[in-house]
Amino acid sequence: MKKKVLGISIGVIALIAIIIGVIVLQKQATEKKKITTAQNQIVTIEKETAKEGDLYKEVEALFDEKQDFLSKEIKTTTIKEIKDKLLKKQTEIKKLNHEFNNKLNTNTAETNSKNLQKKVALAQSKWEIQTEVNELFSSKEPAIKGDNIKTELPITIDLTKEKITKVTDKIKENKELKGKWKEAIDSMLKNATDQVNQVEKIKNLLNESFNGNVPKETVQQSDYDTLNKEIEKVKNEELKTAFTAKLLLMKAMIETKGQINALTQQQQAAEEEVNKAIEKAKADTTKALEQARGDDKLLLGYSDDQIEYARVWLTVIGVKPSELNAKTIPAGTPINQYDKGSATYPTDVIILYGGYSAEGQIVYSSNRNGTINVYPVPSHWQIGAENANNPEFVAKMTQDILDNVRLVNVDVGNPRDVLDVIKVQK
């Protein structure tokens, strides 16, 4: 009986062992299947983040073909979207690793993801710096967009060294910023720094020559010349206009001082006359300063050609026309364009004429030194049909015009009169 019970017990134990074995095998098979599925997910991430993968291409597209300059179409939102995608992939890898106790092969996927994250971080750093650099300049066109670089743009009117230093420090802190992109950024920062230094230099010179908005009586022509030279280097037109206005006040003071000195020297014979001369000079100074603040600004903003045409017309004709027209005639053009045999202009000339022929015309060439050469060209060629067909006659008549060119000193004139003529120019 005991042997029979023992046999039954052994059989039960064997059956239980078999059942447990089957359960373990099933569990191992299920676990293996899950691991395989998870590993396939990792492989998918590997492919997306590897070269030629979709996510890899998205990151590459943030840069130009040489992977140095940023893409011209890059946007803040695009960078954020790609960062979010990479973070999601990284989180997915960590989750699977934790779930399967690091039994998965995730090295390649993790390496790919981290490399792409570094590249996106580089793109974001470059984009932030580019944005800040573009804000240093007043031009509507950006200083840098993609590989399109503008290194001579004018700065904003209120730019400070501190703002430039803030950008420079960001670049120094990131050792990954290098190559042609960094060289371009450095050149733009140098342009901005040079302009800020130039503005500070001019302000210091002005402080030395002015008491508030009034020039000091000690200003010299050399002070004016130095300032004028420095102001010419300013790229921001708004700043240049403001500095030029003060330059005009200096000029008025210097000219007035010359008048005072001349009057003083002439009136040394009598103390009373000297005192009168000083009082008159002070009055002239006040008047000159007031005029400098008003009339001398009237012609700011108009081109040299517009001002020249008006002054030439007032010097030669003397009366404001109903309208003023100007036309450039190139050198080599026949003086008489209607008949054969005409002599030609030896240089480029300007023809000025009014709204109708009775107002007159002027044909001249500028010497660019305050003088012009006036050609006595008639407004109408009335030489008769017989002479018009005679090249020798036409040649002699037009040569006489060249032989009788006269040199004329152009009067600067009253700024208000000059402005009136500028306003009727077409």
The amino acid sitting at 132 is: E
Specify the pLDDT at position 307: 96
Same domain, yes or no, for 84 and 35? Answer: yes
Same domain, yes or no, for 125 and 32? Answer: yes
| Cβ(247)–Cβ(257) below 8 Å | no
Residue 27 maps to a domain: yes
Residue 176 maps to a domain: yes
Residue 375 maps to a domain: yes
CA-closest candidate to residue 398, choices 345, 324, 358: 345
| Spatial distance between the Cα atoms of 232 and 381, rounded to a whole number of angstroms | 46
Task: Mention every residue, 6+ apart, whose C-beta is less than 8 A from residue 302.
Answer: 422
| Cβ(191)–Cβ(152) below 8 Å | yes
Same domain, yes or no, for 127 and 146? Answer: no
Number of folded domains that form the chain: 3
Same domain, yes or no, for 160 and 122? Answer: no
Beta strands 361-366 and 349-353 are antiparallel
Which of 73, 99, 133 is a domain's end point?
133
Same domain, yes or no, for 337 and 396? Answer: yes
Specify the pLDDT at position 338: 86
Same domain, yes or no, for 118 and 211? Answer: no
Residue 290 maps to a domain: no
Which residue is associated with the tokens 């650099």?
133
Specify the pLDDT at position 81: 96
Specify the pLDDT at position 267: 84
Specify the pLDDT at position 95: 92
| Spatial distance between the Cα atoms of 406 and 352, rounded to a whole number of angstroms | 16
Which of 203, 218, 237 is a domain's end point?
237
Residue 61 maps to a domain: yes
Same domain, yes or no, for 217 and 306? Answer: no
Helix, strand, coil % over all residues of the chain, rounded to 5: 60, 10, 30
| Cβ(237)–Cβ(139) below 8 Å | no
Phi, psi (deg, nearest 5) at residue 372: -135, 160
pTM for this predicted structure: 0.54
Residue 255 maps to a domain: no
Residue 276 maps to a domain: no
Question: How many Cα atoms occupy the beta-carbon half-sphere of 114 within 13 Å?
Answer: 8
> Please, what's the largest Cα pairwise distance for the chain?
163
Which of 88, 104, 133 is a domain's end point?
133
Same domain, yes or no, for 93 and 187? Answer: no
Same domain, yes or no, for 188 and 122? Answer: no
Virtual CA dihedral for 93, 98, 103, 104, nearest 10 degrees? -10
pLDDT (tens digit, 9 = 90+) per residue, 277-322? Answer: 777 757 665 564 556 556 668 899 999 999 999 999 999 999 999 9
Spell 65-87 as b/e; 16+ CB within 10 A means b.
Answer: eeebbbbeebeeebbeebbebbe
Same domain, yes or no, for 98 and 189? Answer: no
Same domain, yes or no, for 150 and 189? Answer: yes
Residue 399 sits in which domain range? Answer: 300-423
Ranges under pLDDT 50 in the chain: 288
Q: In the sheet that 349-353 helps form, which strands lie side by side, from edge to edge? A: 325-329, 349-353, 361-366, 371-375, 406-409
Tell me the chain's radius of gyration from C-alpha atoms. 42
The amino acid sitting at 339 is: D
Same domain, yes or no, for 80 and 93? Answer: yes
Residue 345 maps to a domain: yes
Task: Mention every residue, 6+ apart, whose C-beta is less than 8 A from residue 166.
Answer: 132
Specify the pLDDT at position 31: 67
| Cβ(237)–Cβ(206) below 8 Å | no
